[in-house]
Structure 1
Amino acid sequence: MDVSLLLPLAERIPALVAPCRVHELLFPIGEESAAWASGHGLILGESDATRLGRGRFERLACRLLPDVPPARAVLVTEWLIWLFALDDHIDDGGLGTSATAVDALYEPLILTLRRGTARPGSGVLETALADLWNRTVPGMSQGWRRRFRDHLSWHRQGCLDEAVARRTGELPAPTRYAAVRRGLHAPFLLDLLEPALGTEVPVEVLGTKTWQTLLEGTADVTAWCNDLVAYTREDHGPLNAVAATSRQYGLPPRTAAAVLVHERVWGRLEDVADAARNLDAEMRRLRLDPGTARGVSRVACALLSAPRAQLDWLHECGRYSPMPDPSVPSPRRKPRVTLT
């Protein structure tokens, strides 16, 4: 479907009205991450000739993190490339209807994070993951690393749930749908905001209802908006939010998309805004020191910017448009700045 269906959100939700600032080194960040993807065999040949290459994930990372050192924005961009490469491998490689095949694909990836190294002779997804992990974890606590691995396991389970649904037609109950879809949406990506911002959210904040609503609400909104743009009548996953809404209410897809935007996404954005308003009081109650509180606030601000950052990225990227698409020119150019 068309990203234009999401535009009413930008017009009527205060948090989405203003476009995000963009990192001033957007173009060299994109060039650096594209070179990394090619070097690891995730993108072969001309970048804009592939659906993965045309994702232009630096445009999302540079809106989420406009003020971080460029090397950190590069790293987040590369994580996004890796995730979508994994997604494409499952969908395009014939694995998407086999839970056994998905599980076999994911097992060595989980082990890579535990060992910190890829197996000899391993595939490109495994070697790229080992590189990303070893560049991400310095300075992060064992608790953060464990949380990241747990969230990667949630994504594994989400991929398994989707494979079972594709094979059997059995779908989660409406009351379970949001949690199942959230797992499929790679919850570990939001963990990456912390190393990118040079901070770590303390465990006492992570356990609050306020933070859980902020985190899960952001994940829900971005997952559902991505589903809306990715949906086609002929080709969509069984856990796609448009398809799920259509089934639940017996609506045609276009009407289901409108319901998704104007009721579910809108309502979840209000939940996120309420949680953000309560965060300062929550941190005072927990008696966080000023430095820790500032770090939590920075992560919260990045979470709040995610829906608008995604909206602008979906409008600009070429991943969900037909190939080739001459109307979406390459935004990349040779970098003139060395990234450090």
Structure 2
Amino acid sequence: MLENLSAQLEQLRIPTIAFPWAGVCSPDVEPVEQEATHWAARHGLIPSEQYLARVTRTKYGWLAARCYPHADRELLQIIADYFIWFFITDDLFVDRVETLSRETLPNLTAMLDVLDFNRLGASPVFGEVAWLDVCQRLRRRLPGEHFERFAHGMRMWASTAGLQIVSHLAEEPSSAIRPYEAIRRHTSGMNPCIDLLDTANAGPLPAEEFHRPDVLGLRLHTNNVVCWSNDMQSLPMEARQPGQYRNMVILHAAQGHTLQEGIDYTFDKVRAEIDAFQREASQVEPHASKELRGFITGMRDWMRGYQDWVDLDTQRYSQQFLEQDANDSGVLRASR
């Protein structure tokens, strides 16, 4: 699809996304990070010392602390544990995998069953016990409707993984941006993350505000900013892996551009989304309830927190660890 891929990857310039608001980090970050790692080990998500080192250098607790800096300690811990589960499960079942295997359907449907039945299956798949634990803790913490918002996002994650598989199995894969954007905003997992922001800030958002078109528009901008930023930052890793590797940069390059032009195109789209978010939020906030203002603050925290995590904390997208991450993923798949 692309000529001289390796040479282009080595010469890429990936810009840092700047935001017109400050970043914040929870003071509970260190104990949250430590407990999340212990929780993952107790639930069988870390099969070896080698994989423990991978989890340690990724720093999922720091992502939670930067994206939900105002959450209380209990909720922040649930979110950090959820992040470890999600990243590991997503890498194994959806992204860093061969497009389709015998395990694909049982793995994804087991996650749906946990949401639908609130119990384990007769023969739990990898990650199922940990997922049930996260869901039960969230059920105890969130009002019923608010848990269902989160659950809907997770059902869409599992379901649109199927659309992603269809896209990659096509004899002539589409290089169109629009279908990719539709799939990406759900397979990213951003929607369920956004659905925890109101509780983490000023309190649960009532349905009449949650479903307002202008609020849904702010959610979409937030989703796009994080997803498309990640498309740039994860490109060196995704371009070298088998399976479901397409992202916005590669799709743009496939239309006759270089990878750097794909990066520049994606960066411009991210900047436009940030500007649109600020413009539209400034129209909503003056007349918003306390809960809605907290929700909007939470969306800002997520966008900036994700970028700060990439810039300051995690080594997940560092060139130095790309090969090691590929080896670690192989270890985890072999150990299930």
TM-score exceeds 0.5: yes
For residues 273-315 of structure 1, give each alpha carbon's deviation from its aligned partner in whole angstroms, at most 9, with x where no partner exists: 12211223563xxxxxxxxx21221121011122221111112
Q: How does 1:127-276 map to 2 (within 5 A)?
A: 127-168=129-170, 169-171=172-174, 173-186=176-189, 187-197=191-201, 199-232=203-236, 233-235=239-241, 237-248=244-255, 250-261=256-267, 263-276=268-281
After TM superposition, give the deviation of residue 61 of structure 1 in Å: 1.0
Separation of aligned partners in 2, 1:195 and 1:4: 38
State how far apart, in whole Å, the 1-side matches of 2:202 and 2:115 are: 20
**How far off its partner does 1:166 sit?**
2.2
Larger displacement relative to structure 2 (301-310 or 45-54): 45-54
Q: Is the contact between residue 201 and residue 298 of structure 2 (CA under 8 Å) also seen in structure 1?
A: no
Structure-2 residue corresponding to 1:14: 20
- Give the alignment's Cα RMSD to 1 decimal: 2.7
User: With structure 2 as the length reference, what TM-score do the two structures score?
Assistant: 0.82
Give the 3 Å change call, closer, same or farther, for CA 181–272 of structure 1 in structure 2: same
**Contact 2:59/2:314 (<8 A) preserved:** yes
Instruction: Give yes or no for the alignment of 1:126 onto 2:122.
Output: no
Alpha carbons 1:40, 1:124 under 8 Å: kept: no
- Distance, in Å, in 1 between the alignment partners of 2:298 and 2:265 is 27
For 2:240, the aligned partner's letter is E
Query: Alpha-carbon deviation of 1:56?
Result: 0.6
Q: Do the aligned partners of residues 161 and 279 (structure 1) sit closer, same or farther apart at CA in structure 2, a change above 3 Å counting?
A: same
Q: Distance in 1 between matches of 2:50 and 2:80?
A: 15
Distance of 1:113 and 1:185 partners within structure 2 = 18
CA–CA separation in structure 2 for the residues paired with 1:167 and 1:188: 27
Between 250-259 and 115-124, report the one with greater CA deviation. 115-124
SS in 1 for 2:140: coil
Cα 1:35–1:245 shift into 2, 3 Å: same
Give the counterpart of 1:318 among 315, 318, 321: 315
Cα pair 1:47 1:54 within 8 Å, conserved: no
- Kept in 2, the 8 Å contact 1:164–1:170? The answer is no
- Shift in CA distance, 216/47, structure 1 to aligned 2, threshold 3 Å: farther
Q: Gaps (5+ residues) in structure 1?
A: 284-292, 327-340
Structure 2 match to 1:331: none
Q: Could you state the TM-score of these two structures normalised by the residue count of structure 1?
A: 0.81
- Hey, what does 1:84 align to over in structure 2? 87
Distance 1:52 1:162, change over 3 A: farther
Matched, 1:59 2:55: no
Which of 107, 110, 113 is equivalent to 1:111?
Answer: 113
Task: Tell me, in whole angstroms, the C-alpha distance in 2 between the residues paired with 1:246 and 1:195.
Answer: 40
- The equivalent of 1:302 in structure 2 is 298
Unmatched 5+ residue regions in structure 2? 1-8, 325-336
Alignment-derived partner of residue 278 in structure 1: 283
Deviations 1:234-266 (A, max 9, x none): 237444121122234x211112101211x2101
Measured against aligned partners, the alpha-carbon deviations of 1:207-242 in whole angstroms (never above 9, x if no partner) come to: 222111111111111011112111124237444121
Change (3 A) 1:98 1:146: same
Residues 154 and 267 of structure 1, relative CA distance in 2, 3 Å threshold? same
Matching residue within 34, 44, 49 for 2:47: 44
The partner residue of 2:104 within 84, 102, 105 is: 102
CA distance in 1, matches of 2:179, 2:155: 18
Change in Cα spacing, 1:255 to 1:172, as seen in structure 2 (3 Å) is closer
Q: 1:110 to 1:282 in 2, by over 3 A?
A: farther
Point out the more displaced range, 228-237 or 120-129: 228-237
Residues 202 and 294, structure 2, Cα contact 8 Å, conserved in 1: no
| Identity fraction in percent | 20
Q: Shift of the alpha carbon at 1:48?
A: 6.5
For 1:259, the aligned partner's letter is Y
Q: Give the counterpart letter for 2:30 in structure 1.
A: F
1:198 Cα deviation after fit: 6.8
- Quote the residue 2:14 is aligned against: 5
- For 1:308, what is the secondary structure of its paired residue? helix
- Give secondary structure in 2 for the equivalent of 1:306: helix
Residue identity in the other structure for 2:291: G
Count residues with an aligned counterpart.
308
Shift of 1:205: 1.4
Please tell me the residue identity of whatever aligns with 2:161: C
Cα distance between partner residues in 2 of 1:6 and 1:75 = 32
